[in-house]
Structure 1
Amino acid sequence: MGDYIATFFSHFGAMAFKKKCEKEGYPAVIMPVPRNLSSSCGTCVKFAGSPETAENWHSDELEQLAEILENGRFQVIWHS
């Protein structure tokens, strides 16, 4: 289990993903997208879980999924 950032094409997609995370018991917070990740809507969800968490809930709104590394950098692991 690690920390991840999911970016979205719309703010609505981010809101829906956050609600789904919370419903399933994964801590999640909506925040601005970090500068070194680009996003269509500028909103992302930081969550604790696994890459499968986001991939299993894939929707047309999910733009990319990045793992937060120990050094504060990001590793993009999935992109639409």
Structure 2
Amino acid sequence: MKRYVATFHTHLAALRSSRSLSAKGIAAQMTPVPRKLSSSCGTCVRYESETPKLEVLDRDTEAVYEDRAGEYTEVYRAET
């Protein structure tokens, strides 16, 4: 399993994504965004999965990063 951190443009998008992941059986936790990353709303969702599960995340997702022991690799960024 890989660990992911998803950032969002709004708190509501983070909440919706957390609920959507949980509904699919993926444990998700809302937390403050790590200092190494930036986010519009300051809230992220951390979860573990084989893939980033972009199709489950809210449309207002800002970016998704793979978390490797505190080193973050961007795997998705919304078009601006």
Q: Distance in 2 between matches of 1:2 and 1:65?
A: 12
Q: Distance in 1 between matches of 2:50 and 2:62?
A: 17
Identity of aligned residues (%): 32
Classify 1:23/1:29 alpha carbon distance in 2 versus 1 (closer, same or farther; 3 Å).
Answer: same
After superposition, residues 1-80 of structure 1 pair within 5 angstroms as: 1-53=1-53, 55-70=54-69, 72-80=70-78
Aligned residues: 78
Q: What TM-score, normalized by structure 1, do the two folds share?
A: 0.89
Structure 1 unaligned blocks of 5 or more: none
Q: What TM-score, normalized by structure 2, do the two folds share?
A: 0.89
Classify 1:58/1:30 alpha carbon distance in 2 versus 1 (closer, same or farther; 3 Å).
Answer: closer
Q: Distance in 2 between matches of 1:63 and 1:5?
A: 11
SS at match of 1:41: coil
Q: Letter of the 2:15 partner, please give it.
A: M
Aligned Cα root-mean-square deviation (Å): 1.3
Q: Distance in 2 between matches of 1:20 and 1:32?
A: 19
More helix, by proportion:
1
Moved over 4 A (4+): none
Classify 1:64/1:39 alpha carbon distance in 2 versus 1 (closer, same or farther; 3 Å).
Answer: same
Contact 2:9 2:61 in 1 (8 A): yes
